Amino acid sequence: MRKRRVGILTGGGDCAGLNAVIRGITKSAIYEHGMEVVGFHDGFLGLIERRFTILTFDMVSGILTQGGTILGSDNKANPFEHVVYEGEEKRKFDISNQCVQLYNDMGLEALICAGGDGTMTIAGRLMEKGVRIVGLPKTIDKDLAETDITFGFDTARCIATEAIDRVHTTAQSHHRVMLIEVMGRNAGWLALEAGIAGGADIILIPEIPYDMEEIIHTARRRGQFGRRFSIVAVAEGARPIGGAQAVQKVVEDSPDPIRLGGISHVIAAQVEEHTGIECRVAVLGHVQRGGTPTPLDRVLATQFAVKAMELVVAGQFNHMVALRGGEMVAVPVEKVMGRQQLVPHDSPLIKTALSVGTSMGIA
């Protein structure tokens, strides 16, 4: 008799902790449940192109501390809008039925999808076609609904905090305003938490449009009190009051075509113009995604993986594993699809920043 099987794919962008999840799923499935694990390559693209590997103990041994994902990922693949180029012409096809057929032909009991809101939305649509889904919350942005945290976030937060720590000495030595731009898309969690941890003087997040005059006033005021430098933590999605986000480029064949970035350069130019204070910008970019996962992300990813296998064995499909109040729980995928968890204006973190004199860019 063929062994019971479960599939796994890592969708969207990579982040630290994905290999820990793959390892946790594979070892738990084999050791505890006697099941076989099918790993699809490059996220949903592996499902589309029928590319997969049977994962073994040896294949996942030693990957706990590695960043990225041994299965590969793809942030453009979508079975419902598969892009095919015919010469210079681009066409989109719905081949989701073929993906469902592959899922059925392989006898999978469930498809475990590790990803963010885009991955969960696609997984939810496959779920409506009969695929049994178990979701795992992955994103450095921490913007996934229904969970207190996502794996990958802590590593990115630590990297961003270290970057802020390192520019302090340069800013102080040269009496400059240093702007550190971090990822996060439309959510400010990464900038807010790294900014607090790194002692940023100004933190700018998408949820609170900034007042340029207040930023200029803060930089000037610090100089008047003998602090001739300022550290600004800027979320890539930050925008001025009444203004728009800075778009770096548009990727037409991506489910999420807008690529944000560059707002820190805009702010730096305005600060220099109005204050005469020299500014420098550090855009962290993909540095935040890579490298060795923190112990927290390794533990969290392993806990998520083990819980996912428990849901599979219990037949509790079409749910995403979430962490709420320190407890691993299952939430319906429908509650996650198409939603983002943004920083609320009454967040205790914002109150904490304000209480220690940090400016949020508004009067």
Q: How far apart are CA 173 and CA 168, in angstroms?
A: 8
- What are the φ and ψ backbone dihedral angles of 279, each rounded to 5 degrees? -120, 150
As beta bridge partners, residue 202 has 232, 359
| Residue 173 burial (10 A CB sphere; 0-12, 13-18, 19+) | exposed
Looking at the DSSP bridge assignments, the partners of residue 231 are: 178
- Whether 194 and 188 have beta carbons less than 8 Å apart is answered as no
DSSP category for residue 29: I
Known active-site residue 141 = yes
Phi, psi of 186 (to 5 degrees): -90, 0
Could you write out the DSSP letters of every residue in 280-319?
A: EEEE-GGGGT-SPPPHHHHHHHHHHHHHHHHHHHHT--SE
Enumerate residues 6+ apart whose C-beta is below 8 A from 284: 159, 160, 163, 180, 181, 182, 183
Q: Which of 14, 74, 117, 141 is catalytic?
A: 141
Catalytic center residues: 141
